[in-house]
Amino acid sequence: MTTASDLHTRITSAILSKELFKPGDTLIVGLSGGADSTALLDLLATLPAFPLRLVAAHLNHCLRGSESDADEQFCRGLAARYTIPFESRRIDIKAAAATGSLNLEDAGRRARIEFFDDLATQRGAATVVLAHHADDQAETVLMRLLRGSGMAGLAGMPWRNGRGYCRPLLEITRIEIEAYLAERRLEWREDTSNLDRTFLRNRIRHELLPLLEQYNPAVRNTLATTAGILAEENALLDNQVRLTARQTCRFSDSAAACDIPLLLSRPMALQRRLVRLMLSHAAGDLENITYRHLESILQMIASSQPNLRIMLPGGWAAVKEYGTLIIKALPDTAPDFRELVIPGPGSYQMPDGSTLRIEVVPPPRDPVGSPGTAYFDAHRMPFPWRMRTFRPGDRIQPFGMNGRKKIKDLFIDEKIPPARRTRAALIFCGDELIWVAGLRTSNLGRVDELSSLVVKAFF
């Protein structure tokens, strides 16, 4: 039979082996008043030779009227018993769910995260400690299996999540927790909403798991153990994905880009994980991203079409621009840029926000220029000039050619992505297009040995 001393030893081992926190750390302890969190608080407060600064944190969801208020008072009393600070917050979860078009579970989860994060910042806490245990882990694995999930989902709840929250009870069962409470003669509150079978987790707890126990009496431990194995293997694969990403991807603060040929050279499972990594980096999480979204992105990059886009939840998009996959925020619309008159030398803002500079210079040795620099014979192309963005039908007589070329075809030949086409600066003298900035100058304004007044345009 498990004793209080056994649980102290096991939780200490978990804390140290998983590096959850250190002696002397300040911890925010999520306290609902139920058996699990009551046991967690007592365990942490009485760990032998492992002093901690604890702060009990209770969120009153205001879902059960006087019962919710009684839970809050019970938790306040528990904190006083251990002479530790008590923090609480009241929030009408039902109203919050309606306002945010969320279900009650999701609204409650978001409210708890906000509350715990605020407290952790205010108190300078090392982590937030939650009371999830082995039975919760088994329920989580089954929920995700029923809804559909890959290895990351079936790995269940981690010992420490991406927010830094930790769960030191993941290898301890509910039966062991209740035995501990009985030995310590501790009371707790029963949440009647845990009996409400309209919630999937409650149906799994009260209906599915008891049925599965007829096939395997130790199914809860088996599922928790399986989740632990998958978590370790998932961590190994994640490390492999990060190494591969260094070779194939580029990351900025809120976007990610990947070389498509390199991506397609990897096995499909690795491709999928690389796309997940890109989405997670750009958007910050994978909330509302489903298997269907991932498969659509993979189908898009394998397509023969050079430019495609997929809209994603949360205001994001996956964009294929020739040989590059980009994950970035929406909207990606054309800038509000009206036609700009260029009366002469000076500095002017371009449609993409960069600065165009124009100055009079001596005739250059190489009049061809470079992608960001162009030279013009000012007698052939006198001011004022005009600058605007691309319009269908625009044409130019390229440098060194007699015929004209559609700007749309120029964009395609140069593999300019559609998003950049809307920001390209076109410079006109009268009705004549003399420069598609960064791409091509007109033969009509060329500088030659007879040119005496030369203008340099660059950005």
Domain ranges of the chain: 4-226, 252-329, 340-458
Pair 148, 291: CB distance under 8 Å: yes
Give the residues across from 414 on adjacent strands: none
pLDDT given at position 98: 84
- Measured distance CA(110)–CA(90) in Å, rounded: 14
Express each pLDDT in 129-176 by its tens digit. 999 999 999 999 999 999 888 888 899 999 999 888 999 999 999 999
DSSP 157-194: S-SB-TTS-B-TTTTS-HHHHHHHHHHHT------GGG
Segment 42-55, tens digit of pLDDT = 999 999 989 999 99
Q: Is CATH 3.50.40.10 correct for 340-458?
A: yes
**Which pLDDT does position 290 carry in this prediction?**
82
Q: What does the DSSP 8-state code read for residue 370?
A: B
344: which residues sit within 8 A by CB, 6+ positions away? 358, 383, 384
When the pLDDT of each residue in the chain is averaged and rounded to a whole number, the result is: 90
| Common-topology check for domains 252-329 and 340-458 | no
**What pTM value is reported for the model?**
0.68
pLDDT of 336: 62
| The predicted structure's pLDDT at residue 331 | 58
CATH topology of domain 4-226: Rossmann fold (3.40.50)
Beta pairing class for 346-349 and 395-396? unpaired
Q: Is the pLDDT of residue 334 over 70?
A: no
Above 60 in pLDDT, residue 119? Answer: yes
- What angle, rounded to 10 degrees, do the helices at 4-17 and 35-45 form? 80
Token pair recorded at residue 322: 């020739």
Determine which of 1-5, 178-182, 185-189, 415-419 has the lowest per-residue pLDDT on average. 1-5
Q: Which of 377, 439, 391, 387 is nearest to 413 (CA)?
A: 439
Q: Which residue has the higher pLDDT, 195 or 215?
A: 215
> At a CB cut-off of 8 Å and minimum separation 6, what does 198 contact?
none
Distance separating the N- and C-terminal Cα atoms of the chain: 77
Cβ-Cβ contacts under 8 Å for 138 (sequence gap 6 or more): 209, 219, 220, 221, 222, 223, 224, 227
Rg for the chain, CA atoms, rounded: 32
From residue 343, alpha-carbon distances to 19, 53, 376, 383 in Å are 67, 69, 15, 6
Q: Residue 56 and residue 413: Cα distance in Å, rounded? A: 64
Maximum alpha-carbon separation in the chain: 102
**How confident is the model over 252-302, as pLDDT tens digits?**
877 899 999 999 999 999 999 999 999 988 877 787 788 888 998 999 999
Q: How far apart are CA 408 and CA 397, in angstroms?
A: 13
**How sure is the predictor about 30, in pLDDT bands with cuts at 50, 70 and 90?**
very high
Q: Are 452 and 375 in contact (CB under 8 A)?
A: no
Tokens of 160: 């420490």
- Interior angle at CA 197, CA 35 and CA 59, nearest 5: 45
Instruction: Of 211, 155, 171, give the one whose Cα is nearest residue 12.
Output: 171
- The answer to whether the bond into 261 is cis (omega within 30° of 0) is no
Question: Given the structure tokens 């926000």, which residue do they identify?
Answer: 353
Token digits for 159?
Answer: 């010992």
CATH architecture of 252-329: 2-Layer Sandwich (3.30)
Residue 363: per-residue pLDDT: 87
d(CA 443, CA 28): 71
CB of 63 closer than 8 Å to CB of 71: no
How confident is the model over 268-279, as pLDDT tens digits? 999 999 999 999
